[in-house]
Amino acid sequence: MMRQVALVTGAAQGLGRVIAEKLHAAGYAVAVTDVVEDEVRALAAGLDPSGETALGLALDVTRKADFEAALEAARAKWGVVHVAVNNAAVTPTTPVMQISPEEFDKVITVNLRGTFLGCQVFGAYFAASGYGRIINLASLAGQNGGTASGAHYASSKAGILTLTKIFARELGAANVTVNAVAPGPMDLPSVHASVPAERLARIVDTIPVKRLGDPAFVADIVVKLAAPEAAFVTGAAWDINGGIFMR
């Protein structure tokens, strides 16, 4: 079987980096993309010093042309792309009454429009190819309004859950699945950096399992959803939240 090829946005750090590493470890060739080009080039070199199975690319998710260029670069290297992971996001925690219109627009543009453009560009390519897997990173915040996150962040993630259903319905007949993963609070440097320790301890205390989530497990779920065998899963939101939100 030919090697599967995946592209991950926002892969320079955090959950995106863990997802890229897990996909590569599972045997995928991986295009790692981010606005911070130096970091994804370094990540790609670390994944595969030979450069055969990893490629670092600049991709600003607010620009449709960047998605198109990244897709073409991956195809030029490997001939095909099978999987797209829309992970890139900004995560400000500004209190709701203090969010400026400009900050609101920026968060919605990066998180929600960025995911929309990724689904649109890769969805069209996958549909024409007759196969594809799209995995969008949503969040518990988009389901319960968020506890530590900003209102604009939570709203963007709620929109991603809806976009996932729309593209799943649109692309299903073309053998393209579109799913979302909705993590709760993760044990990531970004979480520890954005939430003061005392507040984080209080948040952990409200989680039924009394712990933060494991980013590696979230990445494992992404790998599962990326697999050819995941053909009967589409339009779904996979909840990984320690029991904070149950349905």
Rounded CA-CA distance 81/7 in Å is 8
The catalytic residues are 153
Structure tokens at 35: 């606005």
CA 160, 162, 166, 169 torsion: positive or negative?
Answer: positive
Greatest distance between any 2 Cα atoms in the chain: 54
Closest of 147, 144, 138, 142 to residue 158, by C-alpha: 142
Full strand arrangement of the beta sheet holding 29-34: 54-58, 29-34, 5-8, 83-86, 132-137, 176-183, 237-240
Question: Whose CA is closest to 59, among 29, 79, 39, 81?
Answer: 39
